[in-house]
């Protein structure tokens, strides 16, 4: 524990230690720090003295500034408004830092409540998920889950579920059809896929949603 102690006046990246703070609920020592941007926050001592990529080196302004710079360099987007999710929790994951913007989509390094570290896309994080432990715990507790609404179980899935799964990964689909319960709402709105039909939207300028999505039967060759 002595190796993890920090003292007033020490500097860690953009943070300067002000003094000791109350331990967290697990008894880990913490310190009050001031960031160069003026923000004051409380951080676990062990996160300050880390030397790996999970070390805390700012109030989150460093991640925000770095992410905005990365996006500008790789996409040419100007005046981009970066939404900092650092410290936010969705589902079982807590966002630690933004690690980049592959294909223009923010990817966050997250810590699961089980302790695992996983990188997820921002929309996947906001939908509420886990590192995979939730499903494993469910399987261990009750066995392989039953077919979801009669459409999916394990590696098996119906044509309707496959169409929804492909659609739910698009950026222009309504929020009601994504995340937990998204498939059930999709199934209620558009019904099961008839034969080899495909999903179409009458107005391509509007998002995929209940009033702008329908099954279209394939024309015979």
Q: What is the pLDDT of residues 54-91, one digit of tens each?
A: 788 888 777 666 666 655 555 555 445 557 788 888 88
From first CA to last CA, the distance across the chain in angstroms is 73
Q: What is the mean pLDDT of the chain?
A: 78
pLDDT at 18 over 90: yes
Place of tokens 């989509």: 105
Residue 11 has pLDDT above 80, yes or no: yes
Residue 83 to residue 85: CA distance in whole angstroms: 6
Q: How many CB atoms lie within 10 A of CB 185?
A: 17
- Percent of the chain surpassing pLDDT 70: 76
DSSP per-residue codes, 173-204: B-GGGSSTTHHHHHHHHH-S--TT-EEE-S-T
Q: Which of 218, 135, 208 has the alpha carbon at shortest distance from 175?
A: 208
Copy the structure tokens of residue 187: 């199934």
> Is the pTM value of this prediction over 0.75?
no
Q: Quick check: 14 pLDDT over 70?
A: yes
Tell which wins on pLDDT, 193 or 84: 193
């Amino acid at each position: 524990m002595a190796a993890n102690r920090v003292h007033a006046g020490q500097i860690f990246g953009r943070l300067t230690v002000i003094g000791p703070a109350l331990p967290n609920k697990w008894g880990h020592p913490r310190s009050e720090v001031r960031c160069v941007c003026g923000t004051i926050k409380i951080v676990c001592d062990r996160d300050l003295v880390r030397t790996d990529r999970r070390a805390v080196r700012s109030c989150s302004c460093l991640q925000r500034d770095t992410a905005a710079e990365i996006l500008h360099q790789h996409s040419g987007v100007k005046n981009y408004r970066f939404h900092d999710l650092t410290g936010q929790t969705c589902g079982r994951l807590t966002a630690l830092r933004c690690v980049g913007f592959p294909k223009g989509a923010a990817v966050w390094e997250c810590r699961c409540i089980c302790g695992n570290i996983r990188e997820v896309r921002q929309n996947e994080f906001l939908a509420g998920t886990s590192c995979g432990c939730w499903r494993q715990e469910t399987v261990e507790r009750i066995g392989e889950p039953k077919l979801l609404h009669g459409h999916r179980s394990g590696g098996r899935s119906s044509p309707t579920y496959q169409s929804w799964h492909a659609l739910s990964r698009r950026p222009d689909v309504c929020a009601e059809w994504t995340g937990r319960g998204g498939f059930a709402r999709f199934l209620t709105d558009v019904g099961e896929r008839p034969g080899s039909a495909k999903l179409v939207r009458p107005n391509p300028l509007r998002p995929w949603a209940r009033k702008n999505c329908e099954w279209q039967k394939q024309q015979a060759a």
